[in-house]
């Protein structure tokens, strides 16, 4: 069996795979690969995916897969690296909350002496929209501050509210954290009407996907001074140099909240372990979309 992996994953993968697996550095072996582990900026590999008749597993190094879903053929399973970047993204959110509450973000922009008073996180209500593994990691980090965390997901479960309750919950939150993936149901979810439900002075933090928020509506709210925002993801990406969001938001980072060296290492190791599971015929983890069509031929 041939596995074609991004060059930075090669050493980790080669160390773990069992005998009988031929590991190649992309693009070598791509046409014959049953398992492919690409980087998100590898346009050559991504464009070739629909024609790879031997492909059985496409493993990403990210939790989000909206950028590649349309290219993965039906006869291959798509898997993500959910969990590998939880700590990094959760810490980004905590840092943004503290930087806003204690004025560092504002001070860095204005660079002037101010009589503004800091706020404590204690007793704040933080609403997490898209409460999955990152949301759970964030909740664990916020609770020692005395923060009340409310989680929202597509389906209600113990301690997690349903998205149908979102408009009412927004009115209770001091900060709203978006961690939801981009899907047909979440695209533009935070439009002008939903943003208007947020309480005056609330903070919006987006570490999920930029397309979940209506950018024009967000700019209007931020310019009015009613809301504040710290963003790791925006729409469009990359954000043009003269886009009004640069001035309207408190801070914008370049979609790298989860890209620490440690998170990258965890994602690479997860990808290698996933290949081991596949080679041994064991169940795959983090399956986003299972293969729905069987193709004949040897792997």
Residue 148 belongs to what H/E stretch?
strand 148-153
CA angle 39, 11, 262 (to 5 degrees): 65
pLDDT above 80: residue 259? yes
Residue with tokens 């053929």: 73
Residue 45 near residue 3 (C-beta atoms within 8 A)? no
Task: Kindly name the residue from 54, 82, 255, 266 that is annotated as catalytic.
Answer: 255
Four-residue CA torsion sign, 57, 59, 65, 71: negative
How confident is the prediction for the chain on average, in pLDDT? 96
Within-domain flag for 58: yes
Question: Are both 221 and 122 inside the same structural domain?
Answer: yes
Residues 84 and 273: beta-carbon distance below 8 Å: no
* Structure-token pair, residue 261: 């060296």
Residue 298's pLDDT is what? 39
Main-chain phi, psi angles of 153, to 5 degrees: -140, 175
- Shared domain for 210 and 67, answered yes or no, is no
Residue carrying structure tokens 């963003």: 231
Is 295 inside a domain boundary?
no
255 given a catalytic annotation: yes
On the 0-12 / 13-18 / 19+ scale of CB atoms within 10 A, 47 is: exposed
**Tokens encoding 182:** 């981009």
Number of Cβ within a 10 Å radius of residue 85: 27
- Annotated active-site residue 136? The verdict is no
Q: Which of 51, 143, 237, 265 is catalytic?
A: 237
- Asked whether residue 20 falls in the same domain as residue 91, the answer is no
Co-location of 266 and 242 in the same domain:
no
Are 168 and 247 within one domain? Answer: yes
Does residue 133 sit in the same domain as residue 171? Answer: yes
pLDDT at 76: 98
Strands 287-289 and 77-79: antiparallel
How far are the Cα atoms of 8, 103, 126, 202, 235 from residue 172, in angstroms, in the given order?
A: 45, 22, 9, 10, 26
Provide the token pair at 185. Answer: 């149901």
Query: Which tens digit of pLDDT belongs to each residue from 38-62?
Result: 999 999 999 999 999 999 999 999 9
Nearest to 128 by CA among 138, 116, 143: 138
Give domain status of residue 294, yes or no: no
Residue range(s) defining the domain that contains residue 97: 86-252
pLDDT of residue 293: 63
Task: Say if 51 falls within a structural domain.
Answer: yes
- Mark whether 237 is an active-site residue: yes
How many domains are contained in the chain?
2
The pLDDT confidence band at residue 268, using thresholds 50, 70 and 90, is very high
pLDDT digits (tens, 9 = 90+) for 170-213: 999 999 999 999 999 999 999 999 999 999 999 999 999 999 99
* 264 and 136 housed in the same domain: no
Is 297 part of any domain?
A: no
Residues 102 and 30 in one domain: no
Residue 298 maps to a domain: no
CATH of the domain at 200: 3.40.50.720
Catalytic residue among 209, 221, 228, 266: 209
Query: Do 32 and 165 have their domain in common?
Result: no
- What percent of the chain has pLDDT above 90? 95
Q: For the chain, first and last CA: distance in Å? A: 6
């Amino acid at each position: 069996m041939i596995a074609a992996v991004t060059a930075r994953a090669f050493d980790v993968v080669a160390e773990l795979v069992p005998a009988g697996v031929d590991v190649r550095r992309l693009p070598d072996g791509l046409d014959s690969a049953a398992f492919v582990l690409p980087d998100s900026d590898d346009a050559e590999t991504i464009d070739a995916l629909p024609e790879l008749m031997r492909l059985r597993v496409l493993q990403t190094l990210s939790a989000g897969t909206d950028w590649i879903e349309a290219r993965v053929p039906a006869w291959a399973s798509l898997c993500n690296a959910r969990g590998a970047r939880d700590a990094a993204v959760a810490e980004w959110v905590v840092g943004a909350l503290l930087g806003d509450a204690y004025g560092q973000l504002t001070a860095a922009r204005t660079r002037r002496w101010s009589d503004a008073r800091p706020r404590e996180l204690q007793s704040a209500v933080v609403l997490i929209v898209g409460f999955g593994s990152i949301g759970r990691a964030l909740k664990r980090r916020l609770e020692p501050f005395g923060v009340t965390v409310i989680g929202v997901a597509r389906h209600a479960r113990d301690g997690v509210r349903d998205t149908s309750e979102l408009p009412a919950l927004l009115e209770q939150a001091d900060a709203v954290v978006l961690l939801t993936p981009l899907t047909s149901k979440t695209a533009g979810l935070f439009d002008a009407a939903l943003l208007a439900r947020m309480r005056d002075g609330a903070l919006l933090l987006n570490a999920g996907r930029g397309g979940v928020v209506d950018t024009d509506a967000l700019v209007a709210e931020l310019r009015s001074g009613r809301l504040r925002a710290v963003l790791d993801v925006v729409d469009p990406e990359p954000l043009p140099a003269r886009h009004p969001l640069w001035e309207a938001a408190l801070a914008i980072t370049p979609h790298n909240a989860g890209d620490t060296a440690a998170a990258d290492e965890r994602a690479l190791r997860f990808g290698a372990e996933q290949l081991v599971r596949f080679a041994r015929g064991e169940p795959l983890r983090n399956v986003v979309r299972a293969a729905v069509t069987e193709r004949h031929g040897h792997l």
